[in-house]
Chains A and B, each alone.
Chain A
Amino acid sequence: AQSVSQHNHHVILSEAASLELGCNYSYGGTVNLFWYVQYPGQHLQLLLKYFSGDPLVKGIKGFEAEFIKSKFSFNLRKPSVQWSDTAEYFCAVKETDKLIFGTGTRLQVFP
């Protein structure tokens, strides 16, 4: 079965700093990958997803992620974070029809 690793459990940044959150999945083949964000008290929202084509995926709110097949990775990036990006971020991989999530990364952005 697939598994997802997110190595950064808690990240603290100042506004305007660049962000990169790591995500690795366990085995290859055709994969569908997702990044979700959970703002405090809110439901999970899709930031971006990859299913085929260009390995550099653009998402909402200035986020992007790069699928690197050889590294089994799908890292999330943002060049300049804002205070409003403070949230929990989850990477997920689709296995059959269900999503398998990583443990999440808590991002705190200070003004």
Chain B
Amino acid sequence: GAVVSQHPSWVICKSGTSVKIECRSLDFQATTMFWYRQFPKKSLMLMATSNEGSKATYEQGVEKDKFLINHASLTLSTLTVTSAHPEDSSFYICSARELGQGLVYTFGSGTRLTVV
């Protein structure tokens, strides 16, 4: 079946630095990718939706200049957390939807970000 590879699985960074998280669809083309943030004991909160070759659509309250999303190809989307702060520490999950598969969403294994 469809697989989404997300890297790194965990990262620790210093306050003020930037971190890039990659999300790759393996063996399928993902026209749309989604980025979620998962808080402890909370739901997955959708941050943004990205379509290949166009600007990402951010959910209300998500700072687009802080969470940069790039979807340059049909198999790769990246999330860059810029000038990270401790409150950005969280679990980030990507999801990809295959071209022509409207109801099939495949999730990555997530990235645990800790900002110290």
The finding on whether chains A and B are genuine partners in a shared complex, rather than unrelated, reads yes
| B residues less than 8 Å from A97 (CB atoms) | 32, 49, 97, 102
Separation in Å of the A108 CB from the closest CB of chain B?
14
0/1 interface trace, chain B 30-45, chain A, CB 8 Å (1 if under): 0010101000011110
Are A99 and B103 interface neighbours, CB within 8 A?
A: no
- In this complex, what residue of A is CB-closest to B42? A103
A68 at the A/B interface (Cβ < 8 Å)? no
Question: Chain A: which residue is nearest B97 at the CB level?
Answer: A97
CA distance A43 to B46 in the complex (A): 16
Using an 8 Å CB-CB cutoff, how does the interface string of A30-48 with B read, 1 for contact, 0 for none? 0010101000001111100
Interface string of A81-111 (1 = CB under 8 A from B): 0000000001000100111111110000000
> Are A43 and B110 neighbours in the complex by a CB distance under 8 Å?
yes
**Residue from B42, B44, B110 having most chain A Cβ neighbours under 10 A:** B44
Q: A43-B110, A44-B93 known; A101 and B105 CB under 8 Å?
A: no
The answer on a CB contact under 8 Å between A104 and B49 is: no
B34 x A104 contact (CB < 8 A):
no
B4-43 contacts to A, CB under 8 A, are 4, 6, 32, 34, 36, 41-43
Q: Is B78 close to A, CB under 8 A?
A: no
Query: A7 an interface residue at 8 Å Cβ cutoff?
Result: no
Contact check, B42 vs A100: say whether CB atoms are below 8 A apart: no
Chain B residues with CB under 8 A of A104:
41-43
A75 CA to B8 CA, complexed, in Å: 34
Looking at chain A's contact residues, is the secondary structure mostly helix, strand, loop, or mixed?
A: strand
A27 at the interface (CB under 8 A from B): no
Interface residues on A, range: 20 to 34
How many Å lie between the Cα of A94 and that of B32 in the bound state?
Answer: 14
Q: How far is the CA of A60 from the CA of B42 in the complex (A)?
A: 25
Q: A100, B46: Cβ atoms under 8 Å? A: yes
Task: Name the contact of B103 in the complex, choosing from A4, A36, A42, A94 (C-beta under 8 A).
Answer: A94
Contact A43 B108 (CB under 8 A): yes
CB–CB B108/A51 < 8 A? no
What are some 10 contacts across the A-B interface (CB < 8 A)? Answer: A43-B93, A44-B44, A46-B105, A51-B103, A90-B43, A94-B103, A97-B97, A99-B105, A103-B42, A104-B43
